[in-house]
């Protein structure tokens, strides 16, 4: 398919061809996309989705590139980036309206400046609001389901939908976004007024905890495994003597065993094998089966 001719002069945003996806993921891993489009406006996203549907082209959505592992063969069809260009934040009383491409950290800091509490715990999650809502991301006991009022979504054929919190089917690292193959366009957070000094004290506390315990300077997708019932992935991995364990450029972080990191030029297949190896060792030694939280996307 001649993608260049097909997408030429279309008002969809920034359009690139044969773009390396490793530059768009926190893991720094992944092959190329046939077409990559960085959308700026909701109408561009809707038009692009409809265009791709009409032309039989698969649409794959990427946010800030956290929590994903792109295969070495890359992604066929059109990769749509909803990130820094799809970024608007506004306030109406205690309701914070945020576009899907905005960083959760940026939205959190905006709320703090306006003396709103509720996002201190999740302020350090290194992803976009869209990705956080889709997977019901959480930290320190607070998840998206606890602070979301409503979500604006778009189907793969370009239909715009509005769902209240109760309609999102939020559960641990899950929402109906995955079940119905939807795309988050915007979220409204319902927060509470509080003393700004107290808010920043909480924010500083959670920030210090993250900086001291997590390998934020390394290439990783965050927590690699979901929390197993009755324990913690990082605790189990550490107890199995795997802290700092390496295979090639793949490594269990010495700082936080729940983070698997790419020390250089690890391939997707190498990282997948490493993830499976760590999970297998933990199962053999403890009986706990670690389920991967990181999502693998692309051609296998």
Catalytic sites, residue numbers = 173, 223, 293
Q: Residue 255 in contact with residue 214, Cβ under 8 Å?
A: yes
Which residues are bridge partners to 187 per DSSP? 98, 151
Tell me, rounded to whole angstroms, the distance of Cα 50 from its chain centroid. Answer: 24
Kindly state the tokens that stand for 254: 């010495």
Q: Which residues contact 233 (CB under 8 A, 6 or more apart)?
A: 223, 224, 225, 226, 227, 257, 258, 282, 290
DSSP helix, strand, coil percent of the chain (3-state; round to 5): 30, 30, 40
From the CA atom positions of the chain, what is the Rg in Å? 20
Cβ atoms within 10 Å of 176's Cβ, excluding its own: 17
Query: Is the Cα torsion angle 298, 253, 210, 106 positive or negative in sign?
Result: negative
Q: Residue 66 in contact with residue 130, Cβ under 8 Å?
A: no
Which residues are bridge partners to 161 per DSSP? 153
DSSP 289: P
């Amino acid at each position: 398919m001649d993608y260049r001719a097909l997408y030429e002069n279309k008002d969809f945003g920034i359009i690139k061809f044969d773009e390396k996806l490793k530059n768009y993921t926190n893991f720094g891993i992944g092959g190329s996309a046939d077409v990559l489009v960085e959308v700026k406006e909701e109408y561009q996203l809707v038009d692009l989705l409809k265009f791709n549907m009409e032309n039989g082209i698969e649409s794959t959505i990427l946010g800030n590139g956290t929590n994903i592992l792109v295969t070495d063969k890359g992604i066929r069809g059109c990769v749509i980036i909803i990130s820094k260009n799809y970024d608007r934040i506004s306030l109406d009383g205690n309701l914070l309206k945020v576009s899907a491409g905005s960083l959760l950290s940026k939205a959190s800091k905006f709320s703090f400046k306006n003396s709103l509490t509720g996002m201190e715990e999740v302020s350090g999650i290194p992803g976009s609001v869209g990705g956080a809502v889709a997977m019901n991301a959480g930290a320190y006991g607070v998840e998206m389901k606890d602070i979301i009022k409503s979500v604006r979504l778009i189907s793969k054929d370009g239909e715009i939908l509005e769902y209240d919190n109760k309609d999102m089917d939020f559960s641990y690292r899950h929402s109906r976004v995955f079940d119905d193959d939807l795309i988050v366009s915007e979220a409204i957070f319902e927060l509470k007024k509080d003393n700004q000094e107290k808010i920043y004290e909480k924010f500083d506390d959670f920030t210090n905890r993250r900086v001291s315990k997590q390998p934020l300077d390394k290439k990783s997708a965050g927590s690699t495994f979901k929390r197993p019932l009755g324990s913690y992935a990082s605790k189990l991995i550490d107890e199995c003597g795997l802290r700092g364990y390496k295979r090639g450029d793949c490594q269990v972080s010495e700082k936080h065993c729940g983070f698997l990191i790419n020390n250089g030029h690890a391939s997707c297949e190498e990282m997948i094998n490493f993830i499976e190896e760590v999970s297998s060792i933990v199962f053999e030694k403890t009986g706990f089966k670690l389920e991967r939280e990181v999502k693998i996307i692309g051609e296998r």
